[in-house]
Amino acid sequence: MCGLTGFLSLDAAGRMPQRSRDESRAILEHMAETLRHRGPDDGDVWLDETGRVGLGHRRLSILDLSPAGHQPMTSHCGRYVIVYNGEIYNHLDQRSHHENCGVRFRGHSDTETLLAAISEWGVCEHSLRSCIGMFAFAVWDTREQTLTLVRDRLGIKPLYYGLARRADGSRTLLFGSELKAFREHPDFDATIDRTSVQLLMQHSYVPSPRSIYSNVRKLPPGTMLTVPLDGNRTSLPEPVAWWNARLRAEQVRGTDNQSSVSDPIEHLETLLRRAVGSRMLSDVPLGAFLSGGIDSSLVVALMQQQSSRPVQTFSIGFEEEGYNEATHAKAVAEHLSTKHTELYVTAQQARDVIPSLPTMFDEPFGDSSQIPTFLVSQLARQHVTVVLSGDGGDELFGGYNRYLHLWNRWQKLNRIPGRRAIAATFGAIGRALPSGRWRDRFLYRAQLAGLPDAGALYQHGNLHWPQTDPIVIGAGPADTLYWQRDRWIGHDVPIEPMEQWMWLDAATYLPDDILTKIDRASMAVGLEARVPLLDHRIFEFSWTQPLAWKVAGGEGKLPLREILSRYVPRELFERPKMGFGVPIDAWLRGPLRDWAEALLDENRLRREGFFHPTPIRRKWAEHLSGRTDWHYHLWDVLMFQSWLETQA
């Protein structure tokens, strides 16, 4: 795992950049240095002879620890230069093909193997689809004078890009693994996107393709962006999909895949075992996160089955009742005979992480499980450099409690006679009331009763600050996938509403929240996290099977439960799902109260000009009184306010 950054100067044709090559190199070195935490082992930059193209890299050495794995790396043919972040787990198989074609490799890194594929086929669907893994990279084609940015299928690794403009009209493409690299470029415009702030209030994260900055975008999962050095562009081209989660799910659902698999449970176990085994390839110490839940326990069980010695596992515990999974993790570890390390952290230790969150995540991020994720990463890094994690099982196999909860709610709503008329009545009453709790309640119930279908219920049921309460001043309409129903799965193949929700989470919540969280938290301490359940072959196979194979009888993840029971007794993992969180609600009423009060001060909110203070102050007062738990809403605001302080 590594960090990458760089720029491409798009000055008018024939005009040289105003900066000297030495000045450009110094800027690039500063940009790369901001990513040292992602790659503490090595780093370098590459500039073309004009200084218009720059690639910067920081390396966390995982495969091929020798100088042969050094980046930026030039292909054996000399045409391509790459900076790369990630792991390609089938690169040894690919390497055999290229060796048979006459390629002589200098080392054994997957970066060199990727360059060989690009040298043979170009940066295209064929070369990219041959890669099984997680990756984000930038490659410069010296012949065609083009820069191409690429991101993996499911968005496991991050990549941002955007245009910076100077007063003279010249433009520069900036890109990087994290936004902090952009801020080191003197032309970067740090204007905050107010619509992104409103989306943050709704989702707890800024959804792709937006970022918190107006002129920066996230490269969507499974896409590539090619920018030519032609000097004539006024805007960037649109990313092109080389793999599409919706199309792949529809394609495999629309074919008769089930007929070729006599036992889908056995087939899934084979896929899982191979995915886990390939992700155990490492030249440095390796372990796994273990919460004691279904997903992480299954990953660890399959690791232990394929390991000649006890797998190193890590978990953290809390003294607060309802937030501690360490006892469950320990029981699973003892059954599997892993080398288990657990750390019980105090509430103060957890709260001490909060000041570092804005810098760690680079843009405001409101999922409070970021705190324990960082703490368990910090613990694991004291022993290993690579960990496997169980992320992805909920989205692929229906594991979230909200799926069943919202489905039950939809069925009840559908049984209400004349609910559209009720919605109109509630709406009229709410609009007639003055601002306050009762107005909010009537408007909320009006919106709920008037929802047209189950998809709209899922949109409505997953928001923190609802659309009816736009607290951000000057925010525009949302244009993300979450709100664009015509781009959702289900138009070309018949699927259940709950499957549509699972797909939507895999396309939005998974890359923008779950994978962002684990990437930033682990990379903050120089730890590589791998997610075997998100092998794209597992994603595709899960979509060949009907919903009833995954969710039935009030339970999700049925096939994962069945496979895990072959390694771990059911009594060790069959229990209500517990989130990986901390008691933010109680902390805001206690030890975090003064910190929060300062950030939510009414005069401060008015002075900064991003929020309407009244609804925030009302929820803050209600939360402090204990009448209502508004900690999800308030934490979103607090994370933005805390991040905003770092921008001064």
Tell me: do 589 and 490 sit in the same domain.
Answer: no
Cis peptide before 72 (omega within 30 of 0): yes
Tell me: do 469 and 599 sit in the same domain.
Answer: no
Q: What is the edge-to-edge ordering of all strands in the sheet holding 223-228?
A: 73-74, 80-88, 133-141, 146-151, 223-228, 240-241
Least confidently predicted of 99-108, 152-161, 180-189, 254-263: 254-263
2 is catalytic: yes
Tell me: do 83 and 193 sit in the same domain.
Answer: yes
Q: What is the edge-to-edge ordering of all strands in the sheet holding 42-47?
A: 42-47, 53-59, 2-9, 171-176, 160-165, 216-218
Tell me: do 70 and 201 sit in the same domain.
Answer: yes
Domain assignment of residue 389, yes or no:
no
* Structure tokens given for 364: 């405001």
With cut-offs at 50, 70 and 90, classify the pLDDT of residue 502: very high
For residue 550, which phi and psi values (nearest 5 degrees)? -105, -40
Domain assignment of residue 206, yes or no:
yes
With cut-offs at 50, 70 and 90, classify the pLDDT of residue 231: low
C-alpha to C-alpha distance for 249 and 252, rounded to whole angstroms: 5
> Pairing mode, if any, of strands 386-388 and 286-289?
parallel
Domain assignment of residue 506, yes or no:
no
Domain assignment of residue 292, yes or no:
no
Domain assignment of residue 620, yes or no:
yes
Q: Is the pLDDT of residue 466 over 90?
A: no
Residue 638: which of 603, 607, 594 has the closest Cα?
A: 594
Tell me: do 469 and 604 sit in the same domain.
Answer: no
Q: Which pLDDT belongs to residue 14?
A: 47
Domain assignment of residue 337, yes or no:
no
- Judge contact between 378 and 520, C-beta under 8 A: no
Tell me: do 491 and 601 sit in the same domain.
Answer: no
DSSP label of 174: E
Cβ neighbours of residue 284 under 8 Å, at least 6 residues apart? 61, 62, 65, 384, 385, 386
Q: 386 forms bridges with which residues in the sheet? A: 286, 528
Domain assignment of residue 277, yes or no:
no
Query: What global pTM score does this model have?
Result: 0.94
Q: Which of 438, 473, 497 finishes a domain?
A: 497
Tell me: do 464 and 598 sit in the same domain.
Answer: no
Residue 89: which of 298, 289, 308, 277 has the closest Cα?
A: 277
Tell me: do 470 and 602 sit in the same domain.
Answer: no
Rg (CA), the chain: 25
Cα 550 off chain centre by: 24
- Judge contact between 314 and 287, C-beta under 8 A: yes
Residue 55: which CATH number?
A: 3.60.20.10
Tell me: do 43 and 153 sit in the same domain.
Answer: yes
Least confidently predicted of 42-56, 264-278, 426-440: 426-440
- Judge contact between 615 and 471, C-beta under 8 A: yes
Tell me: do 607 and 486 sit in the same domain.
Answer: no
Q: Which of 2, 77, 101, 124 is catalytic?
A: 2
Q: Which pLDDT belongs to residue 256?
A: 58
C-alpha dihedral sign at 89, 39, 362, 595: positive
Q: How many CB atoms lie within 10 A of CB 136?
A: 27
- Domain hosting 450: range is 418-497
Q: 224 forms bridges with which residues in the sheet? A: 150, 240
C-alpha to C-alpha distance for 35 and 355, rounded to whole angstroms: 19
Q: Is the pLDDT of residue 477 over 90?
A: no
- Judge contact between 204 and 365, C-beta under 8 A: yes
C-alpha to C-alpha distance for 150 and 226, rounded to whole angstroms: 9
- Judge contact between 181 and 28, C-beta under 8 A: no
Cβ neighbours of residue 430 under 8 Å, at least 6 residues apart? 439, 440, 441, 442, 443, 446
In percent, the amount of the chain with pLDDT more than 70 equals 96
Total number of domains in the chain: 3
Q: Which of 224, 243, 262 finishes a domain?
A: 243
Tell me: do 208 and 102 sit in the same domain.
Answer: yes
Tell me: do 487 and 602 sit in the same domain.
Answer: no
C-alpha to C-alpha distance for 288 and 313, rounded to whole angstroms: 5
Q: What is the pLDDT of residues 340-368, one digit of tens each?
A: 999 998 889 989 999 999 999 999 999 99
Secondary structure element (H or E) that encloses residue 573, with its range: none
C-alpha to C-alpha distance for 432 and 42, rounded to whole angstroms: 64
Q: 139 forms bridges with which residues in the sheet? A: 82, 148
Over residues 485-512, mean pLDDT: 93
Q: What is the mean pLDDT of the chain?
A: 92
Residue 634: which of 597, 608, 581 has the closest Cα?
A: 597
C-alpha to C-alpha distance for 66 and 328, rounded to whole angstroms: 40
Amino acid (1-letter code) at residue 536: H
Domain assignment of residue 536, yes or no:
no
C-alpha to C-alpha distance for 54 and 6, rounded to whole angstroms: 5
Q: Which of 437, 463, 497 finishes a domain?
A: 497
- Judge contact between 329 and 352, C-beta under 8 A: no
